[in-house]
Structure 1
Amino acid sequence: MAQVDTPATQKTLALIEHAILAPSSHNSQPWRFRLVDNTIELRADRARALPVTDPYDRELTISCGCALMNLMVAARHFGRFKGVELLPKRMEPDLLARVQLEPVSGEAQSGSDLFDAIAQRRTYRKRFAARPVPATLQRRLMAVAEAGGAWLECVAEAKAKHALAELIAEADRMLWADPSWRRELALWMHPSRSRDGMVMPGLPGPIANAVVRSFDMGDGQAARDRELADGSPLLVVLGTERDTPKDWLAAGEALQGVLLTACKAGLQASYLNQPIQVAAMRQRLHSTLVHAGAPQVLLRLGYPQEDISPASRRSLAEVLDRK
Structure 2
Amino acid sequence: MNPEITSITQEQIRSLLSYAVLAPSSHNTQPWRFEITDGAVSVFADRTRALAANDPDDRELTISCGCALMNLRVAAAHEGIGVAVDTTPDSGDDDLLAVVSFFKEDSASADESGLFESIEGRRTYRKRFASKDVPTAVLDSLGATAAEEGSWLEVIDSEEDRQKVAELVSEGDSVQWSNPSWRRELAAWMHPRRRGDGLTVPGIVAPIAQVVVRTFDMGNGVGAKDKQLADESPVLAVLGTSGDNVADWLAAGQALEKVLLSAHAQGLQASYLNQPIQVASLRPKLQNLLGQQGFPQILLRLGFPEDDIDAAPRRRLDEVLE
Pick the TM interval, shorter chain.
Answer: over 0.9
Q: Map residues 303-322 of structure 1 onto 2, 5 A cutoff.
A: 303-321=304-322
What 5-or-longer segments of structure 2 have no aligned partner? 1-6
Match for residue 196 of structure 1? 197
Greater shift after overlay, 197-206 or 306-315? 197-206
After superposition, give the CA deviation of every residue in 1:95-121 in whole Å (9 maximum; x if it has no partner).
Answer: 111111138x78964221100001100
Whether the 8 Å CA contact 1:156–1:233 is kept in 2: the answer is: no
Whether the 8 Å CA contact 2:31–2:64 is kept in 1: the answer is: yes
1:289 aligns with 2:290: yes
- Identity, in percent, stands at 53
Q: Map residues 147-158 of structure 1 onto 2, 5 A cutoff.
A: 147-158=148-159
Greater shift after overlay, 9-18 or 65-74? 9-18
Name the TM-score, length of structure 1 as normaliser: 0.93
1:64 aligns with 2:83: no
C-alpha displacement of 1:37: 1.6
> Residues of 2 paired with 1:289 and 1:126: CA distance?
26
C-alpha displacement of 1:92: 1.5
Whether the 8 Å CA contact 2:192–2:203 is kept in 1: the answer is: no
Backbone CA RMSD of aligned residues: 1.9
After superposition, give the CA deviation of every residue in 1:109-166 in whole Å (9 maximum; x if it has no partner).
Answer: 4221100001100000000000111110111011011110011111244332221111
C-alpha displacement of 1:83: 1.1
C-alpha displacement of 1:79: 1.4
After superposition, give the CA deviation of every residue in 1:197-252 in whole Å (9 maximum; x if it has no partner).
Answer: 00347972111111110000101100110111100000010000010000000000
Give the AA of the match of 1:87.
Answer: T
> Residues of 2 paired with 1:136 and 1:181: CA distance?
39
- CA distance change for structure 1 residues 179 and 265 in 2, over 3 Å: closer, same or farther? same
Match for residue 87 of structure 2? 86
> Residues of 2 paired with 1:55 and 1:124: CA distance?
25
Q: Map residues 97-136 of structure 1 onto 2, 5 A cutoff.
A: 97-102=98-103, 109-110=109-110, 111-136=112-137
Q: Map residues 1-323 of structure 1 onto 2, 5 A cutoff.
A: 8-87=9-88, 91-102=92-103, 109-110=109-110, 111-200=112-201, 204-321=205-322
> Residues of 1 paired with 2:40 and 2:91: CA distance?
21
> Residues of 1 paired with 2:224 and 2:173: CA distance?
9
Structure 1 segments of 4+ aligned residues over 3 angstroms from their partners: 105-109, 200-203
Whether the 8 Å CA contact 2:270–2:300 is kept in 1: the answer is: yes
- CA distance change for structure 1 residues 19 and 30 in 2, over 3 Å: closer, same or farther? same
Name the TM-score, length of structure 2 as normaliser: 0.94
> Residues of 1 paired with 2:150 and 2:183: CA distance?
34
Whether the 8 Å CA contact 1:120–1:263 is kept in 2: the answer is: yes
> Residues of 1 paired with 2:83 and 2:171: CA distance?
46
Whether the 8 Å CA contact 1:18–1:70 is kept in 2: the answer is: yes
> Residues of 2 paired with 1:47 and 1:87: CA distance?
22
The DSSP-based 3-state class of the residue aligned with 2:191 is: coil
- CA distance change for structure 1 residues 100 and 176 in 2, over 3 Å: closer, same or farther? same
The DSSP-based 3-state class of the residue aligned with 1:223 is: helix
> Residues of 2 paired with 1:242 and 1:90: CA distance?
23
- CA distance change for structure 1 residues 255 and 107 in 2, over 3 Å: closer, same or farther? closer
Give the AA of the match of 1:176.
Answer: W
Give the AA of the match of 1:251.
Answer: A
Whether the 8 Å CA contact 2:10–2:39 is kept in 1: the answer is: no
> Residues of 2 paired with 1:297 and 1:89: CA distance?
28
